[in-house]
Copies of this chain bind each other. A is one copy, B any other.
Amino acid sequence: MFTHVNILGVSLSRTSYHHGDLRNALIEAGAELAESGGPAAVTIRAAAAKAGVTPTAAYRHFADHAALLDAVRDQAMNRLSSAMGRYMRTVPKGDDAQDAMARLRATGRGYIQFAVSEPGLFHTAFTTGTKKMQPPRPGTPSPFGMLNDALDGLVAAGLMHERDRPLAELAAWSAVHGLAVLLTEGPLRGLSRRERDAVIDRSLTMIERGLTGG
C-alpha cells in the first residue's frame, strides 16, 4: 500500500503499512512544527499528519501529548547543543587568557546565534514541561556544561577570582538567555542585523567585565 506524505513540500511515500520508525518520525515532525510555530504548534494531530499517519498511531509511541512535547523539547535542546558545539570547535583551545576569554564569548555567541536563527526551536527547548530538567553535568557537551568549562578556564587563566566563581554560570546564562529572549520574542525582535549585533556585543562585553573585574 502506498501512502503519500507531504513533508516540506516534497512528496514522499511509504510502501508498507507499518512505518518502521514512527517514534523518531514523529519527533522529527514535531521539531519541524516547533521550528516554524514554536512549542504551541507541536500537536499530536499535526505531527501525525506530517509523518503521514493517523493521530491514533502516535499513541503507540507516546503516552499522551505531553510525552511527545517532552521528546520534541529534548530534540530541540540537542540541536542547541550541537549548534553550540559546532561553533565552539571554531575557537582556539589554548589555556592563556586570550583564548579563555574567547571561549567564554563563544559560548554566548553560539547560544544567541542559535536562538536568532531558530527561534521556534529555541523556545521549545525551554518550554516548561512536566519532565525534570537533567542536572547540569559539567564537561558534557550541553550548553550549560560548555559555559561551566569556559568559566573554569577563566579561573585557570587567572582572569577570574576563585571567590567569584560560584553562581557565575547562572549569572552569565541569565544574561545571555535574556538577550536571546528579547531579541527573538520580546520587544527587541525587529532590530536590524546591525543593531542586533551591536546589542549582542555590548551585552557580552558587560558580562565579561562583570565576571573578570571586581
Give the interface of A toward B (CB within 8 A). 126, 128, 133, 166-168, 170-182, 185-189, 198-199, 202-203, 205-211, 213-214
Determine if A174 and B173 form an interchain contact, defined as CB atoms under 8 angstroms apart.
Answer: no
CB contact between A181 and one of B170, B177, B202, B214 (< 8 Å): that residue: B177
A207 nearest CB neighbor, chain B only: B210
Q: How far is the CB of A177 from chain B (nearest CB, A)?
A: 4
A166 nearest CB neighbor, chain B only: B202
Given contacts A167-B202, A209-B213, 9 further A-B contacts (CB under 8 A): A126-B185, A126-B186, A128-B189, A170-B182, A170-B202, A174-B199, A177-B181, A206-B211, A210-B213
User: Which residues of B sit under 8 angstroms from A214, Cβ to Cβ?
Assistant: 205, 209, 213
Determine if A179 and B187 form an interchain contact, defined as CB atoms under 8 angstroms apart.
Answer: no
Bound-complex Cα distance A53 to B118 (A): 42
Q: How far is the CB of A145 from chain B (nearest CB, A)?
A: 14
Bound-complex Cα distance A178 to B166 (A): 18
Bound-complex Cα distance A186 to B202 (A): 24
